[in-house]
Amino acid sequence: MARKQFDLIVFDWDGTLMDSTSTIVKCIQAAARDLALPIPRDDVAAHVIGLGLHEAMQAVLPEIDPALYPRMVERYRYHFLSRDHELALFPGVHEMLNELSHNGYFLAVATGKSRVGLNRAMNDVKVLSLFDATRCADETFSKPHPAMLQELTRELGQDMRRTVMIGDTTHDLLMANNAGAQGIAVQYGAHPADQLAACKPLYSAPSVADLHQWLSGNA
């Protein structure tokens, strides 16, 4: 095996490992409906995926009374909790993570989810043991601030230049750029491929299978 380019591989969760984009969009729209607020279009709701919940609600409905944001978060959580047991990893993700772990990479997650939400999701799909560290938006700064990657590299004793962030949104790739890490885009999540390309990722994967193959040959 050729010398590795990376030691630490950090994944976003929703839309990158877990097939949850459409569910998140529907839950944001349902929260707005509950509060009789304007219902965001699908693409607008999808664009805020990956941000911390409060930041996401501010970005998706910037014109509303700020006092309504905590209620939007509460209604979103209500709807998401009623559906999150239906969610699954994208096909091929489990095999990819197992192989990367077996090959000696440090694996981590950097997500806009809450700690409670991430732990529950990872437990449900039985991948907790595959990850060396995780960071959530309620523990530090929301993407695209570099803090999540800075904290993960520090915790695991890793070099940012040998770290790659993999995600489906510009928030993920801009966080990587801001931190001085490499970024890899996946095109099957929340943000369109042209927006991802504008962030100059090292590679842009059309599918999980393409991502797995690229990592096997190039990481």
Q: If you write DSSP's letter for every residue of 48-79 in order, what string do you get?
A: TBTB-HHHHHHHHSTTS-GGGHHHHHHHHHHH
Q: Which residues of 81-106 are buried (b: 16+ CB within 10 A; e: fewer)?
A: eeebeebebbeebbebbeebbeeebb
- SS3 call for 190: coil
Q: What are phi and psi of 198, to 5 degrees?
A: -65, -20
Q: Please confirm, yes or no, whether 172 is among the known catalytic residues.
A: no
Q: Say which of 7, 12, 19, 172 is annotated catalytic.
A: 12
Tokens of 35: 């509060």
Which helix (H) or strand (E) is 186 found in, with range? Answer: strand 182-186
Q: Say which of 7, 14, 19, 172 is annotated catalytic.
A: 14
CA dihedral 44, 119, 18, 39 (to 10 degrees): -20
Which helix (H) or strand (E) is 167 found in, with range? Answer: strand 163-167
Q: Please confirm, yes or no, whether 14 is among the known catalytic residues.
A: yes
Active-site residues, by number, are 12, 14
